[in-house]
Amino acid sequence: MAEKVIQSLPQSTPAGKEELGKIEVAPEVIEVIAGIATTEVEGVSGTRGNFATGVVEKFGKKVHGKGIKTEWTEAGLIVDVYCFVQYGASVAKVAHQVQTQIREAIFNMTSLATQEVNVHITGIQFDQMNDAKTE
Please report, in tens digits, the pLDDT of each residue of the chain (135 residues total). Answer: 444 555 566 665 566 667 778 888 888 899 999 999 999 999 998 887 544 444 444 455 454 566 899 998 898 999 999 999 999 999 999 999 999 999 999 999 999 999 999 999 999 988 764 544 444
Which domain range does residue 46 map to? 25-125
H or E segment to which residue 124 belongs: strand 114-125
CATH code for the domain of 60: 3.30.70.1350
In a domain, 10, yes or no: no
In a domain, 73, yes or no: yes
In a domain, 101, yes or no: yes
User: What are the phi and psi torsion angles at 94 (to 5°)?
Assistant: -65, -45
Count up the domains in the chain and report the number: 1
In a domain, 98, yes or no: yes
In a domain, 132, yes or no: no
In a domain, 130, yes or no: no
